[in-house]
A and B are shown apart, each in its own frame.
Chain A
Amino acid sequence: MKSGLWVVILVVAGFMGFMMGYSLPPMLEVGMIGGDGAEIGIKSEVSEDMEKYYSDLLKQDE
């Protein structure tokens, strides 16, 4: 029984290790981990003019 359980644990650990390795680098990259409290999240490339355009659109709707 014990050897059987260890085989299962090894297989599961292998998949877990792969998934951890797959998901952690993006978090390090954007500063979610080890980012010294910097602002996190997906950055949008919207210029100030564009932001103003959209906020004016909302005003027109109101």
Chain B
Amino acid sequence: MEQDLRKKRMWAYGIVGFFALISISTYSFNEYYIYLSVYLWFGFLYGMCLQYGRFCFSSAFRDLFAVGVPRMAVGIMIATVLFALVSAFVTATGLSTFHAAPTSVHAVIAGLIFGIGMVFAGGCASGSLYKTGEGNGVALMVILSISVTQALFADVAGWTNKLVPASWHESALAKGLPETINAGDGWVDQYLAGYVWDQPVMTFASTLGMSNESVSGAFVGNLLLGVIIPAALLLVVVYIGWSRTGFLRKRKKQQGSTGFRDELAGYWTMILASKRTAIAGLLLGIFCGLQMLVTQGLRVKFGVKNAGTLLERMGFDYGISVNGTVFDPGYWYVTTQEAQWVGWVFNKLGADNMDNIYFGFVNGIPNPAINPADWMSLALIGGAAVMALLHNEFKFKKPTLELATWAIIGGALMGIGSRLGLGCNVGAFFVRVSQGDTSGWLFGLGMIAGAYIGVKFFNWWTERRMAKEFQACEL
């Protein structure tokens, strides 16, 4: 036992040493690599936090809807509030790299598809990453499925063009995109340029006429009205629906009667019950804020607005978008880099996927070895692995055929939901809600509804299967 722990600790040191070696050697080769190392080390920290806090939206909603345990769902809500608090500081100082997304019903639909997918897969986008770090083979299959589906879906054309409304097609063509981008061909292209881009971009602060960067906009508009009050109300719903009865029953046994003070105590007890996830959320918020700060500093130092310019200066011009950009959010993000590496593989295999908006106009498909956001995701898995190894929670788990099938189906739905919603449970919900972006809540509402449908479907499926098995036994 003791020897096994020592071995695991050595592996943990080995992973840290590997990342340190990459950082030091690439920096000594070219100063610009420090920009990628920033992504690497913050990714590593995100991985540690996710593993520590068991930060998985799928587990949270499955626990809530299937077995009535609200602990992790409450933890995620508290984490969102704490992240928002840190974000308000960053935004008010004008250092945020965040851009709000268009708000419309598309976010709800995207969230719904994503929510169903994450329950089927048994892990959300962030949860699958940290679980892969714990040695979970099913989680790795989920990541592969999300990655491949996104890369295919972003470039889908042919018969899907017939499903595009004429108004989207005309609006997409009217955007006057560069000739290399075929905005009138491809479902996602026309959806983006012809519909999503026409929707309003709003934050809670901007709808109230405040600037996001002002103290009142960041703290009152985006934090208080955009996050704290809606989160508190959602927590009231969770308290009434899943926590209240049990708590009051206990209190009644102890005191004989209960009042409003007991209700408040019950609410507070529910909030405090999920300390680990909440602490992870606070740390994630602090690290995201720090990443924005450091990234902005490096952009000023190198005189660039996007990592694409640095890659070109280093001599890597393959896979850079027509705008000279690559995906470079400057904060925590999950799904786009997963689509990029598969997009890069497809491109190398001969696919012409640089004529679409997602890859060719915005994000590019740089070589994964020099893609900043890919460094972040790989290091995130490494960070989670280090945490799991040090806590003796690392174990290789081979996927069974049944679990692998669900992982692929769920991952595919998450991939589609991510592209429709311009992000996953992190990019489209957690980060957006925390920054006061109104579209974040819409994605979240869809995701909760999707998770509910997913859980109900799973219950029906399991009961049906068990009934069949019992029937077979009786025969």
Contact = CB atoms under 8 A, between A and B. Distances in A.
B301 A15 contact: no
Given A4-B390, A15-B23, A42-B303, A32 B296 contact: yes
Nearest to A11: B16
Contact of A19 (B16, B41, B48): B41
Interface in A8-48: 8, 11-12, 15-16, 19-20, 22-27, 29-30, 32-33, 40, 42
Nearest to A10: B16
Contacts of A32: 94-95, 296-297, 300
Taking chain A's interface residues, is the majority helix, strand, or loop, or is none over half, making it mixed?
helix
Interface string B173-186: 00000000000000
A7 B281 CA distance: 23
A42 B300 contact: yes
A1 interface: yes
A30 B296 CA distance: 12
A26 B300 contact: yes
Interface residues on A, range: 20 to 34
A5 B294 CA distance: 24
B23 A23 contact: no
Contacts of B303: 42
Nearest to B303: A42
Nearest to B17: A11
Interface stretch (B5-13, B268-276, B318-326): B5-13
B416 to A, nearest CB: 35
A43 B247 CA distance: 61
Taking chain B's interface residues, is the majority helix, strand, or loop, or is none over half, making it mixed?
helix
B390 A15 contact: no
Given A1-B5, A12-B41, A27 B297 contact: yes
Contacts of A1: 5, 9, 390-392
B23 to A, nearest CB: 6
Contacts of A16: 41, 290
A61 B290 CA distance: 44
Contacts of A19: 34, 37-38, 41, 294
B300 A15 contact: no
Given A11-B16, A12-B45, A27 B300 contact: yes
B31 to A, nearest CB: 9
Given A1-B392, A15-B41, A7 B13 contact: yes
A47 to B, nearest CB: 20
A26 B390 contact: no
B297 A24 contact: yes
B298 interface: yes
B201 interface: no
Given A4-B12, A32-B300, A15 B20 contact: yes
Interface string B1-33: 000010001001100100010010000000000
Nearest to A6: B390
Contacts of B290: 16, 20
A40 to B, nearest CB: 8
B293 interface: yes
B386 interface: yes
Contact of B20 (A5, A11, A23, A42): A11
A19 B44 CA distance: 14
Residue among A1, A4, A40 facing the most chain B CB atoms (10 A cut-off): A4
Contacts of B391: 1
**A-B residue pairs, 5 tightest by C-beta:** A23-B297, A26-B301, A26-B300, A23-B294, A4-B9
Interface of B: 5, 9, 12-13, 16, 20, 23, 34, 37-38, 41, 44-45, 48, 93-95, 290, 293-298, 300-301, 303, 386, 390-392
Given A8-B48, A11-B16, A16-B41, 16 more contacts: A4-B9, A4-B13, A7-B13, A12-B16, A19-B34, A22-B301, A23-B293, A23-B295, A23-B296, A23-B298, A26-B300, A27-B95, A27-B293, A27-B300, A29-B300, A32-B94
13 contacts: A1-B391, A4-B12, A11-B16, A12-B16, A15-B20, A19-B37, A22-B297, A23-B297, A23-B301, A25-B297, A26-B297, A33-B95, A42-B300
